[in-house]
Amino acid sequence: MPSHSLVSDFRCVVLSTVAMILACGCAEFESSANLPQPSPEVSGQAERLAVGEDGSITHENVDFLEALNAPGKTVIVDFWATWCGPCRMLAPELEKVAKESGGQVVVLKVNVDEEAELAAQFGISGIPDMRIFRDQQPVSRILGFRPAAEIRKNLPQ
């Protein structure tokens, strides 16, 4: 009989693999027609990727609704979790998008484990799930991992 630790490790590998296949396999783009609007009643925290003059990236804790209000800029909200493999693969791609945008794209990261109420408001049922906003209005949604070039193609001009 296999040890409990081995069975537990096997379960983790299987569940992680299934989650990665589901998240990566269902990557798709959706227009704003069916996307929920942010509600002013729900509050939460996010990390904003801040690009320094030297191109370095820092993570700043910010109020979600305040950060979403970025007039004239596109805001990408990345719903993610630390245990999600595709989410970890997506992080450097979002950093590339932020760096290459010349300050025109704001990237917010919302940890669904820490901000469950915020994730529920947006109907997040799988991650990674990126929501694209322009002037606080939802524009599109990207499910699953996508490279930076593909993310940029789906941003409003």
Task: Tell me what the mean pLDDT of segment 90-100 comes to.
Answer: 96
The residue with greater pLDDT, 157 or 118, is 118
Q: What are phi and psi of 65, to 5 degrees?
A: -65, -35
CA distance 150 to 155: 9
Q: Which of the residues are catalytic?
A: 84, 87
List CB contacts of 121: < 8 A, sequence separation 6 or more: 36, 38, 39, 42
Residues pairing with 78 in the sheet: 109, 130
- Please state the rounded mean pLDDT for residues 96-123: 94
59-80 core/surface letters (b: 16 or more CB in 10 A; e: else): eeebebbebbebeeebbbbbbb
Could you give the angle at the alpha carbon of 109 between the alpha carbons of 106 and 112, nearest 5°? 150
Identify the pLDDT of residue 102: 86
- The percent of residues in the chain predicted with pLDDT above 70, rounded, is 73
- SS3 labels along 106-153: EEEEEECCCCHHHHHHCCCCCCCEEEEEECCEEEEEEECCCCHHHHHH
The mean pLDDT of 37-52, rounded to a whole number, is 80
More confident residue, 53 or 30: 53
